Amino acid sequence: MELLFYAYRDFTAEPDAILAKHKLGRAHHRVIYFVGRYPLISVSELLAILRITKQSLSRVLGELVREGFITQQPGQRDRRQRLLELTAKGAELEHKLSESQRQRVARAYRAAGAAAVEGYRKVLSGMVDDDRRAKLPRNRGPRA
C-alpha cells in the first residue's frame, strides 16, 4: 500500500511540472493520455474510464479542444457521439508527458528484470475492478 502511494506520487510528479508550463493540470494529462491511447474514443467511454462526472470532464476537455490539443468529430454509426482524437499538437504534448514516465518505467523494468515485470502486471491487474480488467488491452510486450 505504501509502495503504491510512493510510486504513484513520483510517477505523476514530473508530468505535473511540464503541465504547469502549459497552464494545464493533472486532469488534462489523464484526458490527453487516454485519448492518445484510444483514438476516436467516445465521451461516455472516457467518462467510464476516468470515473468522473461529465461536468468535470467538460471543463477540462473544453479547454483542450479550445487550445487545439484535441479535436471532436461526429461518430459515423451514431452521429450523437463526439469522438475524440489528439491533434498533432496534442500528440506532441502527450509524447513529452509520457517521456519522463516511460523512462521511469523503463528504469524500473531494467532494474527488476523481465520476470518481475510479468509479476508486476499480474498483481496490478488483479487489483483493478473486474469490469475494467475485462477491457484491459493485452500486454503488448516490452515497450521500453
- x/- map, 76-115, a second copy, by CB under 8 A: ----------------------x--x--xx-xxx-xxx-x
Q: With respect to DNA, which residue has the nearer C-beta, 79 or 138?
A: 79
Q: What is the Cα–Cα distance from 9 to 27, expressed in whole angstroms?
A: 15
For the chain, what's the residue count?
Answer: 144
Secondary-structure breakdown of the chain: helix, strand, coil percentages, each rounded to the nearest 5: 65, 10, 25
Tell me which of 17, 40, 48, 128 binds a second copy, using CB under 8 A. Answer: 128
How far is Cα 41 from Cα 136, in angstroms, rounded to an integer? 15
With CB under 5 to 8 Å by kind, the binding choice for 72 among a second copy, DNA, none is DNA
Burial class from Cβ neighbours inside 10 Å (0-12, 13-18, 19+) for residue 34 reads middle
Residue 86 backbone zone (phi > 0: left; psi -120 to 50: alpha; other: beta) = beta
Q: How far is the CB of 88 from a second copy (least distance, A)?
A: 22
Residue 27 binds: one of DNA, a second copy, none (C-beta under 5 to 8 A by kind):
DNA
Based on CB atoms, which residue is closest to DNA, 20 or 106?
20
Report the interface residues with a second copy, using CB under 8 A.
Answer: 1-11, 13, 30, 33-34, 37, 51, 98, 101, 104-105, 107-109, 111-113, 115-129, 132-133, 136-137
